[in-house]
């Protein structure tokens, strides 16, 4: 891949400082955001997660500054696509200790991904380590995802378990499953990324439909026995899982259709 | 910190591609090497560890190319100091899946650190996650070290345990301890960085002195009860620990002196 369209600290075609703590240690965070008609419909949710991350990693960040970057970049890019916002702990790649200097801000553009009709999951052999201090954050230490992704053939999506065998998430999205006990989504207190779309569905969409949903430990046997199953993220919205390696019972999508319809009613860019 | 002196892919003052997978995911590795009279006395050991890492992370790397980079950079930098070699999985920061394209190579220079007479350890609250797939490698996902370092006052070095309570390593060096049962060093099969100096001591120096040493699980109580204790890395060599928070018995350094003397006889740059 060649250079991506990028804004660095508010400047088009800015360069990456070779001492950036993002490059040296993965000391930073990112948000992958759906750009829709020149707007970012889930901006408040992305900002909220980013602030949880910057607080945990000791990175000072000013909302007005970041928002000005976003507006400037969006004015030069197509109206629809995906914006990746990355914030690092600034420069200083020769010592783990962080002096708290100014952060570096990056914005990247890419076109929308091609929609997919089928989501076929495979359980990855690679297991996520358990680390309550980093769990939930969308930080830049992503070797877990890289190693899991490289196991998969191109026609499979990955399902990730932790080193203790609990189901955590998809490779690039959170998991919801309808069981005999109702809707569940994995608890992310020990591992995984707390996705913006996951939080939005839990706070807005499930309650609006009167559907109960629980964050809880999820076993692989529950995934195999699920009646409906979907992955979600802030770029693709909701995607029903159509098959899982090792499962042969058919998956329904009746309630998933209701959930997708309600999401599309509130945020039309996520219409199927 | 401003820009470091850097060579990128063999070119002085080259720039960092904003799509570098090192920046986006920490998909890469590094070596921190002592530069001594224009030479790298432990080069073969660094190269060997780097190759274990590139094999695990799917990064193709050619020794001749890297060595030419090193020679070119060293010809322009001072004869003594520290060289940081970083290798990333190249460009492509918009998908976890790696297409196996060419790597990016970075070399950074910094002066030697100021020698220290006292090493005063504190046990960090932050715990290393257990992850056998990444254990031992010096990869770029270093939030563990960043968060541990930020707990410490400037006059303390950190001692890191894993989430299961086992002693693993210092913040920037491996640990050796002399107990009533002889010399031990923590087993690094689940967490920690397998340091080049650690491997060199185990393979060359302990055997030359007829000293037995075991890689094994180490409990914090064994560290507190140790008679002698040192940290080692490939920049500073061997540093005797002079105090540990929570321990009040005196630490000796009789055998440490013998080990340091033998190291300095073979590699004079590590003379005390």
For B225, other C-beta atoms within 10 Å of its C-beta total 13
Distance CA A176, CA A227 (A): 11
pLDDT (tens digit per residue) in A103-160: 999 999 999 999 888 899 999 999 999 999 999 999 999 999 999 999 999 999 999 9
pLDDT of residue B109: 95
Residues above pLDDT 70, as percent of chain B: 98
User: At what angle are helices B43-57 and B63-74 packed, to 10 degrees?
Assistant: 130
DSSP chain A: --PPPEEETTEET--B-TTBHHHHH--EEEEEEEEBTTB-TTHHHHHHHHHHHHHHHT----HHHHHHHHHHHHHHS-SSEEEEEEEE--B-TT-SS------EEEEEEEPPPPP-S--EEEEEEEEEPP-TTTTB--BS--HHHHHHHTTS-TT-EEEEEETTS-EEEETTBEEEEEETTEEEEE--SSSSB--HHHHHIIIIIHHHHT--EEEE---HHHHHT-SEEEEEETTTEEEE--EETT--SPP--HHHHHHHHHHHHHSGGG--
Name which of B34, B38, B15, B37 is nearest B83 in CA terms.
Answer: B34
| Residues in chain B within 8 Å Cβ distance of A83 | none
Is the predicted pLDDT of residue B77 greater than 70, yes or no? yes
Cβ within 8 Å of residue B195, ≥6 positions away: B169, B173, B174, B232, B233, B234
Of A6, A26, A58, the CB nearest to B18: A6
More confident residue, B231 or B272: B231
- Long-range pairs for B110-114: beta carbons < 8 A, 24 or more residues apart: B110/A94, B110/B4, B110/B81, B110/B82, B110/B84, B111/B78, B111/B80, B111/B81, B111/B82, B112/B34, B112/B80, B112/B81, B112/B82, B112/B235, B113/B82, B113/B235, B113/B236
Residue with tokens 């999951």: A121
* Chain B positions in Cβ-Cβ contact with residue A145 (cut-off 8 Å): 25, 96
- CA distances to A161, A228, B8, B156 from A99, rounded to whole Å, are 35, 48, 26, 16
Strands ordered across the beta sheet of A120-128: A167-170, A157-162, A120-128, A243-244
Is residue B207 predicted with pLDDT exceeding 60? Answer: yes
Interchain pair A1, B94: CB under 8 A: yes
Q: Which residues of B touch A96 (CB under 8 A)?
A: 142, 145-146, 148-149, 171-172
Taking a C-beta distance cutoff of 8 angstroms, is the pair B84, B35 a contact?
no
Q: Which residues of A touch B130 (CB under 8 A)?
A: 129-130, 163
Is residue A98 within 8 A of residue B150, CB to CB? The reply is yes
Instruction: Check residue A2 and give its pLDDT.
Output: 45
Q: Tell me what pLDDT residue A246 has.
A: 87
Strand partners, A158: A122
Measured in degrees and rounded to the nearest 5, phi and psi for residue A194 equal: -85, 95
- Mean pLDDT over residues B157-172, rounded? 97
Q: Could you tell me if B20 and B93 are in contact, meaning their C-beta atoms sit under 8 angstroms apart?
A: yes
Q: Do A19 and B27 touch (CB under 8 A)?
A: no
A27/B146 touch (CB, cutoff 8 Å), yes or no: yes
- In the predicted model, what is the mean pLDDT of residues B151-177? 96
DSSP class of residue B134 equals T
Q: Which two tokens stand for residue A240?
A: 């029903």
Q: β-pairing, A120-128 with A243-244?
A: parallel
Predicted pLDDT of residue A94: 81
Position B117 confidence tier, pLDDT thresholds 50, 70, 90: confident
Q: Whose CA is closest to B70, among B104, B40, B32?
A: B40
Question: Which secondary-structure segment (H or E) carries B22?
Answer: helix B21-25
Cβ contacts below 8 Å, chain A against chain B, sum to 187
Model confidence at B2, pLDDT cuts 50, 70, 90, reads very low
Report the gap between the CA of A3 and the closest CA in chain B (Å): 6
- Number of neighbouring beta carbons within 10 Å of residue B10: 15
**Nearest CA of chain A to the CA of B159: how many Å?**
14
Domains of chain B plus CATH, in order, are: 6-110 (3.30.470.10), 120-270 (3.20.10.10)
pLDDT tens by residue, B90-102: 998 789 998 888 9
- Test A146 with B57 for CB contact under 8 angstroms: yes
Q: What is the pLDDT of residue B4?
A: 67
d(C-alpha A84, C-alpha B93), whole Å:
10
Using a 10 angstrom Cβ sphere, with 0-12 exposed, 13-18 middle and 19 or more buried, the burial of residue A63 is exposed
pTM, two decimals, is: 0.96
Nearest by CB to residue B97, choosing from A21, A27, A149, is A149
User: What is the predicted pLDDT for the residue at A4?
Assistant: 67
Q: What are the chain A neighbours of B26 within 8 Å (beta carbons)?
A: 25-26, 140-143
**Which residues in chain A come in under a pLDDT of 70?**
1-4, 272
Q: Is A91–B1 a contact, with Cβ atoms under 8 angstroms apart? A: yes
Residue B178, pLDDT above cutoff 60: yes
């Amino acid at each position: 891949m060649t250079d991506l369209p990028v804004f660095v600290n508010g400047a088009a075609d800015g360069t990456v400082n070779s001492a950036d703590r993002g490059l040296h240690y993965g000391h930073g965070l990112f948000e992958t955001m759906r750009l829709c008609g020149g707007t970012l419909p889930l901006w408040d949710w992305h900002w909220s997660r980013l602030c949880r991350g910057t607080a945990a990693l000791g990175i000072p960040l000013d909302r007005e500054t970041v928002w000005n970057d976003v507006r400037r970049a969006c004015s030069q890019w197509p109206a629809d696509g995906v914006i990746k916002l990355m914030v690092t702990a600034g420069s200083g790649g020769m010592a783990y200790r962080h002096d708290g200097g100014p952060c570096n801000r990056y914005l990247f553009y890419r076109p929308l991904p091609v929609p997919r009709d089928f989501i076929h999951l495979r359980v990855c052999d690679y297991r996520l380590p358990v680390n309550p201090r980093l769990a939930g954050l969308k930080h830049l230490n992503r070797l877990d995802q890289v190693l899991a992704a490289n196991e998969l053939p191109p026609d499979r999506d990955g399902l990730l378990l932790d080193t203790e065998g609990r189901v955590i998430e998809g490779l690039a999205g959170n998991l919801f499953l309808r069981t005999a006990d109702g809707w569940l989504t994995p608890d992310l207190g020990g591992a995984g990324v707390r996705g913006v779309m996951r939080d939005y569905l839990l706070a807005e969409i499930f309650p609006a439909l009167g559907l109960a949903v629980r964050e809880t430990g999820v076993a692989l046997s529950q995934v195999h026995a699920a009646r409906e199953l979907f992955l979600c993220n802030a770029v693709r919205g909701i995607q029903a899982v159509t098959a899982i390696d090792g499962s042969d019972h058919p998956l329904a999508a009746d309630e998933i259709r209701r959930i997708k319809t309600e999401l599309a009613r509130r945020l039309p860019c996520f219409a199927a």
